[in-house]
Amino acid sequence: MKKLNHLHWLLILLLLPGCHNNNNQQAEQKFYTSGDYYSVPKYDVHIHIFTKSPYFPESCKKDNYRLLSVNVNAPDLPPVKEQQEMALYQAKKFPGEFNYATTFSVDDWNDLGWETRVLNYLKNSFDSGAVAVKVWKNIGMTLRDKDGKFVMIDNPRFDKIIDFIAKNKITLIGHLGEPKNCWLPVDQMTVKNDREYFKSHPEYHMFLHPEFPSYEDQINARDRMLDKHPDLTFIGAHLGSLEWDVDEIAKRLDKYPNMAVETAARISHLQHQAVSNHNKVYDFFIKYQDRILYGSDLEADDKTDSLKAFQTAHDTWFGHWKFFTSDSTLTDPDVTGSFKGLHLPKEVVDKLYFKNAQKWIRGLKANQP
């Protein structure tokens, strides 16, 4: 056989990439399938585990999920100290797989010692391994000062606290404001999960409380807080309460380079937008692939049956996986009309479910088993 000279080798090398492009199998491997769900490592960065039962975190291993359990200063939940105690118990039992975001109480806002107490509480949380801090919509919606005025997140009394969080390189997760639907009558809300939530929580349905701060007031206060703390790593929970239009989220992400968003309880809004404009939602996920984290807002506590809670979690997680990975036509009980799956490339899915969590919440990486 005639020996190959340099020119032959060069020709072979030049032709090789062409062979790759024509190979269907290679092209298919750019995307995940439903079958890949169990093997791909994932984080749910917005879940509420308020129990010491090992059942839920143990079961997560099957679905390849690691958790960030988020503590909340909400009236229908156990006190924040108790939430922290449960979180620490689980974090010790499931190192690396169970992580928690601490929070702080504003119930004693009008006491002089509030700031010092909160700083001490947070210091203790960080020393114990909390990887993030959550602030909730009570700031802006229910908390009032001595004069009866609503306290918003850009209130100067929060500055010291937020500086302390930023200095410790801890991520602040903000559920501030509500979906825009909250300011509409129930029959005008775009998705069923919002209709159901506000029907059962009239105290938070702002359409019924026109004297309370407006949607714009909430968003503007959050933005002013971000203006004051440019070094803070901030994750806008629930798509930053800008769920109604991905272009609105994009504007904030462009303006605030240290801001990311997570999807908890708002995937129906993405699906709603995908009904009429699939490409717009797809393009948003491609352009901002480094800035979006997966969160669900699922819950497990001692009041609900563990088996049922996990089954619900599995079904929800799997439904979302199909929306992000497949190109099938899908429906969801919360959404009117059908929509196509986003069919995101593997590398984007890996960022959404895993890499961005470790990037935006530094402690998650440090906590790896």
* 262 touches Zn ion by CB under 5 A: no
67 or 344, CB closer to Zn ion? 67
C-beta separation of 53 from 76 below 8 A: no
Q: Which residues of 164-200 are buried (b: 16+ CB within 10 A; e: fewer)?
A: bbbeeebbbbbbbbbbbbbbbeeeebbbebbbebbee
Contacts of 114 (CB under 8 A, 6+ apart): 106, 108, 157
Enter the DSSP assignment of 351: I
Which lies closer to Zn ion via its Cβ, residue 133 or residue 342?
133
The nearer residue to Zn ion, 57 or 341, going by C-beta atoms, is 57
Report the alpha-carbon distance of residue 154 to residue 152 in Å, rounded: 6
**Nearest residue (CB) to Zn ion, 57 versus 295:** 295
Least distance from Zn ion to the Cβ atom of residue 231, Å: 26
Site size toward Zn ion (CB under 5 A) is 1
| Closest to Zn ion by CB, 223 or 297 | 297
Q: Which is nearer to Zn ion, 265 or 344 (CB)?
A: 265
Instruction: Collect all residues with Cβ–Cβ distance below 8 Å to 361 and sequence separation of at least 6.
Output: 45, 68, 99, 131, 132, 171, 235
Q: Which is nearer to Zn ion, 99 or 326 (CB)?
A: 99
Footprint (CB under 5 A) of Zn ion, residues 3-42: none
Pick the closer one to Zn ion by CB: 83 or 289.
Answer: 83
Residue 64, token pair as written in the block: 């390849």
Instruction: List Cβ neighbours of 64 (8 Å cut-off, separation of 6 or more).
Output: 37, 38, 39, 40, 41, 42
Residue 361 structure tokens: 């919440």
Q: What does the DSSP 8-state code read for residue 48?
A: E
Which residues in 160-199 contact Zn ion (CB under 5 A)? Answer: none
Closest distance to Zn ion from the beta carbon of 136 (Å): 8
Q: Which two tokens stand for residue 197?
A: 């939530």
Least spacing, CB of residue 351 vs Zn ion, in Å: 22
Nearer to Zn ion, 154 or 297 (CB): 297
Under 8 Å between Cβ of 182 and 194: yes
Coarse DSSP helix, strand, coil percentages of the chain, rounded to the nearest 5 percent: 50, 15, 35
Judged by CB under 5 A, the chain residues 288 through 347 that form the site for Zn ion are: 297
Residue-wise DSSP of 91-153: HHHSTTTEEEEEE---TTTTSTTHHHHHHHHHHHHHHHT--EEEE-THHHHT-B-TTSPBPPT
Q: How far is the CB of 195 from Zn ion (least distance, A)?
A: 18
Shortest gap between Cβ of 264 and Zn ion (angstroms)?
A: 6
Rounded to a whole number of angstroms, the minimum distance from the CB of residue 70 to Zn ion is 6
Rounded least distance, CB 39 to Zn ion, Å: 28
Residue of minimal Cβ distance to Zn ion: 297
| Minimum distance of Zn ion from residue 134's CB (angstroms) | 8
Q: Report the DSSP beta bridge partners of residue 179.
A: none
Task: Give kind and range of the element (H or E) at residue 45.
Answer: strand 42-50
Q: Is the dihedral of CA 100, 200, 219, 272 positive or negative?
A: positive
Task: Report in angstroms how near the CB of residue 17 gets to Zn ion at its nearest.
Answer: 47
User: Which residues of this protein are in contact with Zn ion, per CB under 5 A?
Assistant: 297
